[in-house]
Amino acid sequence: MIQFFVAGHVGPQGSKSYKGHRGGKPVLVESSGRVKPWRAAVVAEALRHAGELLTGPVGVHAEFILPRPKSASAKAVISAARQIGDTDKLCRSTLDALSNVIYRDDCQVVDLRASKRVALPGETPGAHITITTVTEGASQ
């Protein structure tokens, strides 16, 4: 089992913007400017815990902790959670960052559990990530 915390503002991956053509090929750019810094933070922290690349099926549990809004009203907290991005888009950027660092490719993830919430007062935004090997044929 590999467990670590990545501090930072989670970057959702998913939507791309069309920026024209270059060399006859379409140029698509990630819509969220947070994706690259988030992936870099995930890679940096994962490297501190990495050993040999995992080659079999893995399970990933990610708890995303979003920045707390300045207003602590229930409405502001719910709104903040919605604005950061869909949980699946948060997973996409994180799982891609772990490829070739913890496991060879994110297609090895056979069990994915993810949640997102707003940081408690004084809590650091980021993600708690746990990666486990999965025995083929084992029930989860």
9: domain CATH number? 3.30.1330
What's the rounded Cα separation, in Å, for the pair 107 and 97? Answer: 13
Q: Using 50, 70 and 90 to split pLDDT, how confident is the model at 125? A: very high
Q: What percent of the chain has pLDDT over 70?
A: 74
Q: C-alpha 134: how far from its chain's center?
A: 20
Segment 20-44, tens digit of pLDDT: 767 777 655 555 667 899 999 999 9
Domain range holding 129? 2-133
In a domain, 138, yes or no: no
Could you tell me which of 101, 74, 71, 105 has the C-alpha nearest to residue 4? Answer: 101
| Beta strands per DSSP E along the chain | 2-7, 16-22, 25-30, 58-66, 109-118, 126-133
Segment 69-78, tens digit of pLDDT: 776 666 666 6
In a domain, 24, yes or no: yes
**Total number of domains constituting the chain:** 1
The per-residue pLDDT for 49 is 95
pTM: 0.79
